[in-house]
Structure 1
Amino acid sequence: MSEKSQLNLGAGVATGVGSMPGGDAREAAKTVTGSLESLPFLPELPARGPGADMIGRTAGMLVDLYAHVEPSGWRFSDRPGRDTRRARSWLGEDLDALEEFTQGHEGALKVSAVGPWTLAAALELRGGEAAVSDPGACRDLAASLAEGLRAHLAEVRRRVPGARLLLQLDEPSLPAVLTGRVRTASGYRTHRAVDRAVVEGALRELAAVARETTGSAPVVHSCAPGVPFALLRRAGVAGVSFDFSLLTEREDEAVGEAVEAGLTLFAGAVPAQHTATAPLSDPAGSVMGVRTLWRRLGLAPGTLAESVVVTPSCGLAGASPAYARTALAHCARAARSLADNPE
């Protein structure tokens, strides 16, 4: 195993997945930057409505492709309209707030966008079917996304010039795309599974864009069961973000190979919403499962704190603002416990 992961974030790092509760961009940015000194992130605030959601925000980044909201979801348009303008306006507001609270920041900074396959599963063609049903549309979408991400990352760099940017591609629908579980417009059938080599190829191309633009490969996030660790490793990503509670022992070999290859695990070990059965009172206890995994994989304890970033299990949009603050602070303490006591 390499001594450090490809990302070289250091030991005892925590971050969030992306979404935060409420609609106040300044409050969200203040919470994130105040709670996560080692790896703050650009928050998403989907409670504001269409265009602030993850699909709408990323659709607003696309180059020469546009989308608008239908009752069934986001659908391609011939030209930019009100929904595109709203999405870009929300993103501008979020960037303004981030810039305000990251003055002088010179460490890592994570920004997110929806990956090409979740975008293809969510965006509808003009006839109403998902873009994932059309190989040509998928290629066009991936190319447009690549150009949009170049521009977006350049804008973040302009606003926070001292930051070392890390791109996260959100792919919650990736397992469904690979296994043919994306439903048709009628809801009675599912679209055919996309060939794994095609999926891997598109992700590899976007990983190259991230390396070219930020200096490091991206992290891919999926909070669904069945995260394809081996495929993502072959696609050249630098890290995988996942809901740790969904990991099964059947995935041990793929996870171990990913770590051995230098990938960073963004382990979603802290509940994304308050539960009476899992109060956030024991940071070390929250990552006990991560330690157990490390022992089960036979990995050196000394590599744990630099190979794992602690996160909530998924986005915090459904949490209360108070719980979101508590969860992020708890992630930071849990990550420090891994660094302070790696055994």
Structure 2
Amino acid sequence: MWPEGIGTGAGSLPGADPREAAALVTGETPEFPALPELPHRSVGADMIGRTAGLLVDLAVEVVPTGWRVTPRTGRDLRRARDLMSADLDAFDDACDRTRPGWVKIAVAGPWTLAASVELASGHRVLTDHGAVREFAASLAEGLREHVAEVAERTGARVVVQLDEPGLPAVIAGSLPTASGYGTVRAVRAPDAQDTLRELIAGIDAPVVVHCCADVPPIRLLAGAGAAAVGIDATRPAFTGATARVEALDAIGETWDSGVPLLLGLLPGTAPRREPAIADLARTGYDLADRLGFDRRRLARLAVPTPACGLAGATPDWARRALALSRELGKAFADPDEVPAGGAGPA
């Protein structure tokens, strides 16, 4: 696995210049930079369009309600692929200067993708089991090609992050239908896990599954064969007096099984006062203490990241959040060197 005591990004960044973004991630998280995602640019730079550009033998286009399946590749998909190509060029050049041993790429996971793309009928892909399988298989094939290209261009080992913010709603059956008068039938948790497991097994790279929902299905994700699970550790379910026993137990069981967490600890937008490293680290230490894990194991059990994407942040905070993630990684590796904390973040 990747080295201990490091940090990385979790998702999107502000801005529209791929070269500036590539310089940012390789400069602030040089041991484990993430291929920048810049959704503010335009159609095709968003998470779904970016992922759709990797699909093999499937095409989508933009309609007033979002992305929809189409018989042939059109302008929207070509733009998504052009943007990805520019991102890879910039990232390749930046990595050539810093020579990271590991890099991370992110795409929408199969369930979030199926929940976000419409069939020609206007219904979600999620409503058609055959279409879900087809999209998952296409995504797996596209990811294999994408991983191989990124590895060849950067000379680094590649980690794939599957973003599944929509998975809890898929399992709960809370997504509205096309008419808006009902909800899409829930997908059984074992079926959701099987699809993830099959996709993960088909990718020749470690796969992280990231879900920054209030209560992510940690056990399901870890049980699907993920190399790590990414969560927003600042959610009430995991911290302080509001922490939920079942949520903490899920983390403990995941760590016991040897699966680390990408632990989201930095806010997505600038706080009124910058949090001290000691206060940020204490969130991780407290989690380890509550679950009975030695703090010295945190560097192996957790990779600190921003809580989720940073697209809504100022450029200054995006830079600082990544830098703090790296500093937190070092703090986890040597807890005795972390000074006593202050009042905590505002």
TM-score category, normalised to shorter length? over 0.9
Report the equivalent of 2:280. 286
2:12 to 16, 19, 27: 19
Please give the per-residue CA displacement for 1:104-136, whole angstroms capped at 9, x wherever unaligned. 624111011110000000001111111111111
Counterpart amino acid of residue 253 in structure 2? E
Does 2:116 correspond to 1:122?
yes
CA–CA separation in structure 1 for the residues paired with 2:21 and 2:274: 20
Does 2:305 correspond to 1:311?
yes
CA–CA separation in structure 1 for the residues paired with 2:181 and 2:21: 40
CA–CA separation in structure 2 for the residues paired with 1:23 and 1:126: 31
1:61 to 39, 54, 63: 54
Compare 88-97 and 295-304 and name the one that shifted more: 295-304
CA–CA separation in structure 1 for the residues paired with 2:311 and 2:278: 25
CA–CA separation in structure 2 for the residues paired with 1:106 and 1:34: 10
Identity value in percent: 47
Does 2:26 correspond to 1:33?
yes
Compare 261-270 and 10-19 and name the one that shifted more: 10-19
1:209 to 193, 202, 214: 202
Counterpart amino acid of residue 232 in structure 1? L
Residue 186 (structure 1) shift? 2.3
CA–CA separation in structure 1 for the residues paired with 2:26 and 2:321: 14
Compare 281-290 and 65-74 and name the one that shifted more: 281-290
Does 2:331 correspond to 1:337?
yes
1:186 to 164, 167, 179: 179
CA–CA separation in structure 1 for the residues paired with 2:58 and 2:278: 46
SS at match of 1:245: coil
Counterpart amino acid of residue 103 in structure 1? D
Report the equivalent of 2:258. 262
Q: What is the RMSD computed on CA atoms of the aligned residues?
A: 1.3
Compare 185-194 and 163-172 and name the one that shifted more: 185-194
CA–CA separation in structure 2 for the residues paired with 1:280 and 1:110: 26
2:84 to 72, 78, 91: 91
Please give the per-residue CA displacement for 1:230-259, whole angstroms capped at 9, x wherever unaligned. 111211101111111223333111111100
Counterpart amino acid of residue 271 in structure 2? T
CA–CA separation in structure 2 for the residues paired with 1:64 and 1:326: 40
Report the equivalent of 2:268. 272
SS at match of 1:61: coil
SS at match of 1:74: strand
Residue 300 (structure 1) shift? 2.2
On the 8 A contact 1:283/1:331 being kept in 2, the answer is: no
CA–CA separation in structure 2 for the residues paired with 1:234 and 1:306: 19
Within-5 A mapping of 1:142-153? 142-153=136-147
CA–CA separation in structure 1 for the residues paired with 2:275 and 2:146: 38
Residue 66 (structure 1) shift? 0.6
Gaps of 5+ in 2: 339-346
On the 8 A contact 2:115/2:124 being kept in 1, the answer is: yes
Counterpart amino acid of residue 9 in structure 1? W
Does 2:211 correspond to 1:198?
no
Counterpart amino acid of residue 91 in structure 1? M
Counterpart amino acid of residue 228 in structure 1? P
Higher relative contact order (CA 8 A, sep 6+): 1
CA–CA separation in structure 2 for the residues paired with 1:67 and 1:227: 28
Gaps of 5+ in 1: 1-7
Report the equivalent of 1:252. 248
Please give the per-residue CA displacement for 1:83-121, whole angstroms capped at 9, x wherever unaligned. 010000000000000000001624111011110000000
Does 2:133 correspond to 1:139?
yes
CA–CA separation in structure 1 for the residues paired with 2:53 and 2:20: 23
Does 2:73 correspond to 1:80?
yes
Report the equivalent of 1:3. none
Counterpart amino acid of residue 118 in structure 1? T
SS at match of 2:202: helix
Report the equivalent of 2:64. 71
Does 2:42 correspond to 1:49?
yes
Aligned length: 329
What is the TM-score normalised by the length of structure 2? 0.92
